[in-house]
Amino acid sequence: MRYFEYFVGPQHVGVTGNMSYHLWADGDEIKKMITSVGYLHRGFEKLMEYREWVKNVPMVPRICVPEPDVNEVLYAMGVEELSGLVPSERAQYIRVLVLEMARLSAFLFYFAGAAGALGLYTIPQWTIGDRDYILDRFEELTGGRAYHIYTTPGGVRRDLPDGFKSRVQETMNYLKKRLIDYDRLMFENAIIVKRTKGIGIIEKDYAMNMGVTGPNLRASGIKADVRKDDHYLVYDKLDFDVPVVGDGDIFSRIMQRRLEFDESIKIIEQVLEMMPDGGFIEKLPNPIEWKVPAGDVYVKLESSKGEFGYYIVSNGEEKPYRIHVRGPSYTHGIQVAQEKIVGMRIADVAPFLFSLDVCPPDIER
Amino acid sequence: MGIFKKIFTPLDALKHLGQKPHTIRVPYVKKEPAKRYRGIHVNDWDKCIGCGNCARICTCQAIEMIPIDSIKVEEGKTNLRPQVDYGRCSFCGQCVDVCPTGSLKLSTEYLMTSTNKDDYIFIPPKDRDSGEGTGWESSTETSMLRFDREEMPERNPDERKLDFEPVLLGFSEQQAYLESMRCLGCGLCVDGCPTHMFIPEYIQKIRDAEYNGAVDEFFKNNPLPQICGTVCTHNCEDNCVYSRRGNPIQIRYLKGFAAEKVDNYGDVIKVDPDNKIDKKVAVIGAGPAGLTLAFYLRKYGVQVKIFESTPNAEGMMRYGIPRYRLSEKTLKKETDFILSTGAEIQYSTEIGKDIPLKNLLDEYDAVFIGVGFQQGIPMGVPGEDAIGVLQAADFLRDVAMGKKVEIGNKAIIVGGGDVAMDASRTALRLGAKSVIMYRRRWVDMPAHEEEKLEAKDEGVEIMPQTLPTEIVKDENGKVKSVKYVKTKMVDQGEGKRPKPVPIEDEIYEMECSAVIQAIGQNPDYSLFPDDIKEKLQFDKRGKRIIVDDYGETLIPGLFAGGDCVNNRGDIVGAIADARKAARGAQRGRGRASP
Amino acid sequence: MGLFKFSRSRSLWMMHFCTGCGAIEMPPTMTSRYDMERFGIIPMATPRQSDLLLVTGYLTVKTLKRVVRSYEQMAEPKYVIAFGSCTMRGGMYWDSYNTVKELDLYIPVDIYINGCMPRPEAIIDAFIKLRDMIDKGEANAWKNYRDNLDWYKQNQAKVFDINKWSAKI
Amino acid sequence: MSLDVEESIKQDIDLRLKDIAKCEIQRERRLKLYTGKDRVIPVLGFLKSYGFIHLAAISCVDWLDDGEFEIVYNLWSYRDKAGILVKTRISRENPEIDTAIPIYEIAETYEREIHEMFGVNFPGNPNLTSLFLEDWNGPPPMRKDFDTRKYAAEKYGMRDLTEQLKIGMDKIKGVRDGDEIL
């Protein structure tokens, strides 16, 4: 039997970032797929072993490009747990603020990709344009648009600028207003619903066994969220829901993010209200030659894509002995996508892959 | 909602049709970056000291230190300036956060497009600065550096002024760790140290709690680490990069801390007392210079004999510095170690009186003079001959020797140096009230700031801009009071110290029972016979002997060091001189000899 | 000829290839907030129809192979803009075992943009510069590639496995 | 902070895996378990049936001085809301450990990566092809004895400034006279 063989990526509009899929199709039906990754492999884990603890702070955000802050916070959390450093309460609130803003911006990116894959080109124009307002807030707070390099072991590098809270609130109000437009155009759009409902279903048990995490897992009907189950920072003091859509198809994965978008806005508003005064950083004894006590720790948090985790091993020296980064897309992008795409039609490949929110840099590091 | 209706929901988008687009029409419209934006580097060359910490923290190795010939090298500053490679830089701003002076910053300018990638390597100057308050700057609060020091624990002033026990309590181990952790290892402090101690190296050892290793580092250039670790004038700390914006690392106390941890230096520093080569050196005066010379020569087996005029070694360290600053235990520990290396010492022998200098010159391969300044300078006001008018040097020496000194209930100390502080605080401890009169302002006082504050805390009354004009005697010829005037400071133009001018109109008077003069000291060169004195070369004021780079005077084989050579007037200066002379004495007699 | 240059410089079609992290600033540049279509630049799916290759950041050996392939498929005249530190001298990944350090050893580069990442404004600035250069006839890096093909191929062969990669076009 | 859940998990594990594994509580919601190379698969089998359904990652640590690789299985239980690190050591010479695919299907990719990055062999894994690297001619790059700076300098002509920076520091430190008197 001969199949029609074709490639998606790396130079292609239908992939998220720089990765490629090798597909075999029988007529219109996909028979097999192989994910090819490694286009972005920089060897972070190796490079970090060569650098002192603080020098790794600018390195880590590069691991996940659309949502860099999770890496900064995770790295800081891991190092803090190893060294017994406790960041101030205010710093923890600021971190939550940064994480949730990053989640919003990643979701807006996701909507753009998912809608673009379905041919709805107005949504990318809107969501990415609106995402820029979040980036403006980031720029004010952290000094960078894409890479913030803001969280560091001990706290955060700068305090909130004057009047920042009210400007974040304005941005949130603007986004809330815009969500009505997005709903009308995308989530209530009969064509989108028709194209995505009942396609690319990831079943509940399969999702659990295959290490699917985050919104993709919740879209399959399991209520699990690292923010609640393995709460970190000050998430246990915040009031938010974990929505579960539960059908496991493309539409529920898109809808899952849409519902979580509301929750994140809710969290940001609470953080703005509850943020205490106080110091924003607990300075390290020495920026360069600081040693972290020996030990190992696995820290994880909920990113917009799923469970992001750092396994950090220290042998008591100035440099980490080993850092293993567990990116959420690792499972989604390779094995799950390869297995679940079989039987799908060619036209559904791009929406399916986009719905998984695969981010190649965090697979490859 | 039926499917039919739903199919038309996207038409809602049409309502945006007439709206003004939110497009920013770059480049016709410029969007200002945020205030904190991390753009390109700017460096204020005047503020930059070239310490190289930015290069050390750079994770991308984008910064290299380049020597700039047009920049003058000063103490605590180098002529290196950071060169940034934008082919490496990740614009993280850590170089800014670690800059001790705050000279480096990232401005909000960011445009830099070129066809040539070599354009991206440059030494950032100050132009293209977007202005104060914009860009990524570091303040003492946001910097990664901890500009606050670990405070040295001290005894309560009310309690400590009653006795001669040490004022400082010493660091705890945790404090010493944290203080030593602040060190960045740049080594600019070494410039300030006359004897160029290996400061970053020993701080590193203290951090790792390897006190023996630290002591090993000390003895490379300084055989009196614990004394220096307590009372050094710490020029190193003035050059510490932290002092540019905050409190310098307390290098002195760290050294004292590590030296105290090692009870017996002999365990670390191996000098065989029986190893004696055929070379003999005589040392006149067992002060810091003499002891240092003895140690370094003994290290190489040279036979050393020290002649000391008093019954104790240590010279000014014992007789000039009161015991509450430098304890007997510390003094003993250090001198005993040096003497245990095989140096002989002959106490209560005055050269020039008991033994002529000529004999020594004939008998020994080299003679070292480390006699110090012993004679106080009189003020030159009427009534100085009154009973109860003392010289600070004599006063301190008598107290240190345990002699009974009568100063009554109120002493006026004249002068503003460290000696004045020591005299005033010693007077307090003898049960008198102390008043310091100084003719210039508080800020002009040559005493170290912490000395001044400690004296003030203990209740010494300090009267700046006050000039005594006459000492009034009572009928028994004893001091009764001091007449004084106030002064005003007259500007002497750019670069010159303002001059105090007395305001003659009003003359005040203060009752007292003793006057202690601490306005300076002179050497006592009576040990030199006239023919030798003629051959020696002195400085313009006739106080200090001129020596060459190896500490040798114009007379072959006669070396000198300490206060009678340098104008620092401190222990570490004497140590540096003695090390020079040790090298010279090794070379042998006469500067022509190899 | 002036008309050709004018037309070329005002309808640059950009190849849709996100090679590194710089790609994250491309969507904002393409969409409503910065809207690069104002300059006649639109993303294009295939190399054969595009004029402009954006190398948006570091290149691993694996990507470089695809980039060289894509670059060679592009019709002349073609232009390359290199983004950020990584394309000049390796950037943050200067000691990585899997990324190439100097892009211009493997393909010629017309313009470099500084930054990590460059802002959309900086990207647009580079586009305008490139447009001016094309107008003046200065953007000739592609000719360089044709003239010095052997040199480029040699450099490429150094990092690619020679058995799997033919030195011929 | 009570550790009731963690204690009960530890008790159950100690009961069932008494002879083959050692369990300890690291902190709230984190446990560690040490086991031998040959016991890993049964231990994982028990843990999965116990509720640790989610295999978050498999990490490998190269303990060069001990001459061993440490394989760390990172499990999470959705029911108990607790994570466990299962650790085992294998020799650096001829590193080999049975695949965990029969228990955790998702282990395939992790093992593939460890195979590529450390050169550990996983008998039973059908797909031990290269994952990230292409045209790779060096040793497995994540091993501690592989020097990425040296490799990059040779292959890509990268400029390593480490030495220059050191020289720069010496310039800063100026002339130091040690105790060389003679």
Q: Where are the domains of chain A?
A: 4-364
Measured between beta carbons, which residues in chain C are less than 8 angstroms from residue A49?
A: none
Instruction: Confirm or reject contact between A51 and chain D (CB < 8 A).
Output: no
Task: For residues A129 and A182, give the distance between their C-alpha atoms in angstroms, rounded to a whole number.
Answer: 13
> How close B115 comes to chain C (CA, Å)?
4
Token reading at B1: 């909602």
8-state DSSP, A249: S
Task: For residues A307 and D57, give the distance between their C-alpha atoms in angstroms, rounded to a whole number.
Answer: 11
Q: Tell me, what's the pLDDT at A75?
A: 92
Q: Classify the phi-psi angles of B209: left when phi > 0, otherwise alpha if psi is within -120 to 50, otherwise beta.
A: left
Q: How confident is the model at residue A73 (pLDDT cuts 50, 70, 90)?
A: very high
Task: Find out whether B267 and B291 touch, Cβ atoms under 8 Å.
Answer: no
Mean local confidence (pLDDT), B154-162? 83
Measured between beta carbons, which residues in chain C are less than 8 angstroms from residue B111?
A: 121-122, 125
Q: Tell me, what's the pLDDT at C96?
A: 87
Instruction: Confirm or reject contact between C106 and chain D (CB < 8 A).
Output: no
Q: Tell me, what's the pLDDT at C168?
A: 40
- The bridge status of strand B466-473 relative to strand C13-15 is unpaired
Out of B22, B57, B97, the one facing A55 most closely (by C-beta) is B57
Instruction: Confirm or reject contact between B120 and chain C (CB < 8 A).
Output: yes
> How close D121 comes to chain C (CA, Å)?
22
Residue B154 bridge partners (DSSP): B168
Out of D108, D133, D142, the one facing A45 most closely (by C-beta) is D142
Query: Can B280-374+550-587 and B375-520 be said to share one CATH topology?
Result: yes
Mean local confidence (pLDDT), B28-34? 83
Give the C-alpha distances (Å, rounded to integers) separating B30 from A107, B24, B42, B277, B295: 28, 8, 21, 81, 71
What is the percent of chain C with per-residue pLDDT over 90, rounded to a whole number?
0
Task: Find out whether B167 and B454 touch, Cβ atoms under 8 Å.
Answer: yes
Q: How confident is the model at residue B346 (pLDDT cuts 50, 70, 90)?
A: confident
Order across the sheet with B303-307: list the strands. B344-346, B303-307, B280-284, B366-369, B558-560
Q: Tell me, what's the pLDDT at D178?
A: 47
Q: Tell me, what's the pLDDT at B594?
A: 35
Q: Please say if the pLDDT value at position B148 is more than 60.
A: yes
* Range B280-374+550-587 has CATH code 3.30.365.10: no
CATH architecture of A4-364: Orthogonal Bundle (1.10)
Is residue D168 domain-resident?
Answer: no
Task: For residues C138 and B454, give the distance between their C-alpha atoms in angstroms, rounded to a whole number.
Answer: 73
CATH topology of domain B375-520: FAD/NAD(P)-binding domain (3.50.50)
Kindly compute the dihedral angle of the four CA atoms of residues C158, C160, C161, C165, in this order, to the nearest 10 degrees: -110
Out of B6, B145, B184, the one facing A190 most closely (by C-beta) is B6
Contacts of A among chains (3+ CB pairs under 8 A): B, C, D
DSSP B223-287: S-HHHHHHH---HHHHHSGGGGTSPPP-HHHHHHHHHHH-S-GGGTS---TT---S-EEEEE--S
Q: Tell me, what's the pLDDT at A76?
A: 92
Give the C-alpha distances (Å, rounded to integers) separating A307 from A220, B16, C121: 15, 38, 34
Q: Please say if the pLDDT value at position B592 is more than 50.
A: no
Give the C-alpha distances (Å, rounded to integers) separating B352 from A177, B355, B552: 99, 6, 20
| Range of lowest pLDDT (B5-14, B460-469, C136-145) | B5-14
* B351-410 per-position pLDDT tens digit: 878 888 888 888 888 888 888 787 888 888 888 888 888 888 888 888 888 888 888 888
DSSP A283-315: --S-TTT--PPSEEEEEEEE-SSSEEEEEEEE-
Out of C15, C98, C119, the one facing A41 most closely (by C-beta) is C98
Out of B40, B91, B117, the one facing C104 most closely (by C-beta) is B117
- Tell which residue, A210, A224, A227, A241, has the closest CA to residue A356: A210
Contacts of A331 (CB under 8 A, 6+ apart): A210, A211, A212, A213, D106, D109
Query: Which residue in chain C is spatially nearest to A65 when comparing CA positions?
Result: C21
Mutation site for B-interface testing, chosen from D173, D176, D177, D180 by largest number of B Cβ within 10 Å: D173
Q: C2-159 maps to which CATH number?
A: 3.40.50.12280
CA B298 to chain centre: 28
Q: Tell me, what's the pLDDT at B198?
A: 83
Instruction: Confirm or reject contact between C33 and chain D (CB < 8 A).
Output: no
Give the C-alpha distances (Å, rounded to integers) separating A276 from A89, B123, D73: 7, 42, 39
* C78-101 per-position pLDDT tens digit: 899 888 888 888 888 888 888 888
Q: In degrees rounded to 5, what are phi and psi of residue B330? A: -60, -45
Measured between beta carbons, which residues in chain C are less than 8 angstroms from residue B116?
A: 112
Check A335 against D59: CB less than 8 A apart: no
Residues of C with CB under 8 A from a CB of B: 32-35, 38, 85, 88-92, 94, 102, 104, 109-116, 118-122, 124-126, 128-129, 133
Task: For residues A132 and B354, give the distance between their C-alpha atoms in angstroms, rounded to a whole number.
Answer: 91
Place of tokens 């400085």: B539
Place of tokens 């739903």: B6
Is residue D139 domain-resident?
Answer: no
Check C21 against A361: CB less than 8 A apart: yes
Give the C-alpha distances (Å, rounded to integers) separating B163 from B166, B324, B329: 9, 8, 16
Instruction: Confirm or reject contact between C13 and chain D (CB < 8 A).
Output: no
Contacts of B among chains (3+ CB pairs under 8 A): A, C, D
Out of A13, A42, A66, the one facing C58 most closely (by C-beta) is A42
Instruction: Confirm or reject contact between B203 and chain C (CB < 8 A).
Output: no
Q: Tell me, what's the pLDDT at B457?
A: 86
Task: Find out whether A19 and A330 touch, Cβ atoms under 8 Å.
Answer: no
Task: Find out whether A342 and A30 touch, Cβ atoms under 8 Å.
Answer: yes
- Tell which residue, D47, D97, D103, D99, has the closest CA to residue D76: D47
Q: How confident is the model at residue B589 (pLDDT cuts 50, 70, 90)?
A: low
Q: Where are the domains of chain C?
A: 2-159
Q: Please say if the pLDDT value at position B241 is more than 60.
A: yes
Measured between beta carbons, which residues in chain B are less than 8 angstroms from residue D171?
A: 65, 67, 78, 80
Out of C94, C98, C165, the one facing D158 most closely (by C-beta) is C94
User: Per the structure, how many domains does chain D have?
Assistant: 1
Query: Which residue in chain C is spatially nearest to D153 when comparing CA positions?
Result: C95
Task: Find out whether A57 and A72 touch, Cβ atoms under 8 Å.
Answer: yes
Buried b (16+ CB within 10 A) or exposed e, B5-20: ebeebbeeeeeeeeee
Mutation site for D-interface testing, chosen from B59, B78, B298 by largest number of D Cβ within 10 Å: B78
Instruction: Confirm or reject contact between D39 and chain A (CB < 8 A).
Output: no
Mutation site for A-interface testing, chosen from D31, D78, D132 by largest number of A Cβ within 10 Å: D132
Task: For residues B416 and B392, give the distance between their C-alpha atoms in angstroms, rounded to a whole number.
Answer: 12
Mutation site for A-interface testing, chosen from C13, C19, C21 by largest number of A Cβ within 10 Å: C21
Out of D56, D59, D85, the one facing A307 most closely (by C-beta) is D56
Q: From start to end of chain A, where are the E strands?
A: 4-8, 20-26, 29-36, 151-152, 155-156, 295-302, 307-314, 322-326
Query: Which residue in chain B is spatially nearest to D179 when comparing CA positions?
Result: B220
Check C89 against D159: CB less than 8 A apart: yes
Mutation site for C-interface testing, chosen from B60, B61, B83, B109 by largest number of C Cβ within 10 Å: B60
Q: Please say if the pLDDT value at position C153 is more than 60.
A: yes
| Range of lowest pLDDT (A117-121, A303-307, B199-203, D163-167) | D163-167
3-class secondary structure for B487-545? EEEECCCCCCCCEEEEEEEEEEEEECCEEEECCCEEECCCCCCHHHHHHCCECCCCCCE
Task: Find out whether B228 and B255 touch, Cβ atoms under 8 Å.
Answer: yes
Q: Please say if the pLDDT value at position B563 is more than 80.
A: yes
Q: How many residues does chain D have?
A: 182
Range of the structural domain that residue D46 is part of: 4-133
Check C165 against D135: CB less than 8 A apart: yes
- The bridge status of strand D68-77 relative to strand D54-63 is antiparallel
Is residue D158 domain-resident?
Answer: no
Out of B33, B94, B178, the one facing A58 most closely (by C-beta) is B94
Q: Split chain D (182 residues) into runs of 10 and give each run's mean pLDDT.
A: 78 79 83 86 88 89 89 89 89 88 89 88 86 81 86 77 59 48 40
- The bridge status of strand B466-473 relative to strand B479-490 is antiparallel
Q: Tell me, what's the pLDDT at A321?
A: 92
Q: Tell me, what's the pLDDT at D163?
A: 65
Amino acid B368 reads F
Right CATH for B157-267 from 1.20.140.70, 1.10.1060.10, 3.40.109.10, 3.40.190.10: 1.10.1060.10
Give the C-alpha distances (Å, rounded to integers) separating B301 from A255, B275, B336, B343: 87, 5, 18, 10
Token reading at D118: 């450390």
Kindly compute the dihedral angle of the four CA atoms of residues B386, B391, B397, B399, in this order, to the nearest 10 degrees: 50
Instruction: Confirm or reject contact between A163 and chain B (CB < 8 A).
Output: no
> How close D148 comes to chain C (CA, Å)?
5
Out of C23, C27, C96, the one facing A42 most closely (by C-beta) is C96
Mutation site for C-interface testing, chosen from D113, D133, D134 by largest number of C Cβ within 10 Å: D134
Q: How confident is the model at residue A312 (pLDDT cuts 50, 70, 90)?
A: very high
Check B111 against C92: CB less than 8 A apart: no
| Range of lowest pLDDT (A291-300, B127-136, C144-153) | B127-136
Average pLDDT, chain C: 83
Give the C-alpha distances (Å, rounded to integers) separating C3 from C7, C13, C74: 6, 17, 22
> How many Cβ atoms are within 10 Å of C120's Cβ, its own excluded?
25
Dihedral (CA of A120, A121, A126, A131) sign: positive
At how many degrees (to 10) do helices B251-261 and B199-207 cross?
60
DSSP B4-59: HHHTTGGGGGGGGTTSPP----TTTSPPPPPTT---SEEE-TTT-----HHHHH-T
Mean local confidence (pLDDT), B504-509? 82
CA D25 to chain centre: 19
- Tell which residue, A193, A70, A181, has the closest CA to residue A127: A181
CB neighbour class for D167 (10 Å; exposed up to 12, middle 13-18, buried from 19)? exposed
Task: For residues A76 and A57, give the distance between their C-alpha atoms in angstroms, rounded to a whole number.
Answer: 8
